[in-house]
Amino acid sequence: MGALESRSADVTISIVSFNSRDFLVDCLRSTYAEHGGLEVEVIVVDNASTDGSAELIRREFPDVTLIVNEENRGFAAAHNQATRLSSGRYLFLLNPDTVLLPGSLTKLASFMDGHPEAGAAAASTWLDHGRTFRGGTHKVFNLPFILLAHTGLAEVFPNNKIFRDGWEIDRMLWQCEDWCEMELLTGESLMVRREAIDEIGLLDERFFMYLEDTDWSLRMRRAGWRLYVCVRAEVIHYVGGSSRNGVRTYEIFVNSLRHYLRKYYGLGGCLLFQVLKVIGFMIAKIVRRWRLMCGAARKERAQTIRITPETNVLVWGRYVGVDSYLVEISDGPSFIRQCGALVKGSRFSIPEEIWRRWPDGAYHWRVVPTAKCLRSGTFRARRFKRCSS
């Protein structure tokens, strides 16, 4: 890291790119929007892209500091390269498949200035320009959650207390109007205080991609720093834009998960995970066969609605005394990875901008009442099948 005397910028924006050329132009343009007098430097680390990303940056954005790697070093190592070169009081990690909305950088920096206890603050992440759909997850990533979420037990017990507690975090964040304190922040739009980095160190480069932000969050909290989501700072995130180009994402995640378990729960935690993973998937297989025999699976398939571009509307029955709901959509029955929208009434139209980016297939959706007197998960999850035509 550079010496304290050499620091001159207020905010260093660090962007790691791997074959993200189609997104980079809009992302970089957004970083040059109104900054309210902040001194901003932008560093892009290109992880051996083959799509002409580096050439584009040199030609269109000469003020950007560009680092070109000869091999893909991963998310954590590349951001660390930018951090060592940076001069800002704050380091702002930004995905290349995002657009920073005007004024958001100023809002994040002002928030950090006003909250010296904050080690980091994340922006509110939208998935469409209409600000209808919000993504990101801030659930606590502890051993009980891992054992449920990443083994077959998630399918067998989707309505467990650990998941319901996570749903409460979703509901709290949706109803927050200014800022919320969190136990975990994600790294697609994350502002980190320089002093916090100096104290806890850089990102752990043994995480090639995934969970390095979870690890950083835990290390900050253990050092006494607090973590927040600054709701008024906003980015649009084209989910998957920076990791869909031939990257074996599942294998990478599994390797990161193994390292996370070993780092925080030792060999015993890793062995427990492997044992429960085998048991969980065996139980899930038995449950699926049982449900098929008793007709429950066929009944679910029969009740699965078919959604097309012309009929992309979800409808549900109202809960007595509740007029607003959180609609969440996921690619799995446990809602580990989900996005959602706050809805008045009892129907929701999936935004066309979102619709175009989703692949065909089966999705799960649920409706969560926003009334504080009711616990999330009151409504049974349903399924729909997304079809191009």
Where do the structural domains in the chain lie, given as residue ranges? 4-138+183-237, 304-386
Q: What is the pLDDT of residue 281?
A: 86
In this chain, the answer to whether the domains covering 4-138+183-237 and 304-386 adopt an identical fold is no
Fold for domain 304-386? Immunoglobulin-like (2.60.40)
pTM above 0.75, yes or no: yes
Give the count of beta carbons closer than 10 Å to the beta carbon of residue 287: 16
Q: What is the pLDDT of residue 128?
A: 87
Q: What is the pLDDT of residue 119?
A: 98
Round to the nearest angstrom and report the end-to-end CA distance of the chain.
53
* Dist CA 276 CA 322 (whole Å): 39
CATH of domain 4-138+183-237: 3.90.550.10
Q: What is the pLDDT of residue 388?
A: 63
Q: Of 80, 84, 72, 86, give the one whose Cα is nearest residue 40.
A: 86
**What is the full per-residue pLDDT of the chain (389 aa) written as tens digits?**
443 345 589 999 999 999 999 999 999 999 988 787 899 999 999 999 999 999 999 999 999 999 999 999 999 999 999 999 999 999 999 999 999 999 999 999 999 999 999 999 999 999 888 888 887 677 788 888 888 888 888 777 777 788 777 777 877 887 788 999 999 999 999 999 999 999 999 999 999 999 999 999 999 999 999 999 999 999 999 875 555 544 478 889 999 999 999 999 999 999 999 898 899 888 888 887 886 777 655 555 555 556 565 677 888 777 777 888 888 888 777 777 778 888 888 888 888 888 778 777 778 888 877 766 555 444 455 666 666 65
Q: Give residue for tokens 């954005």.
A: 61
Assigned token pair, 257: 């998960």
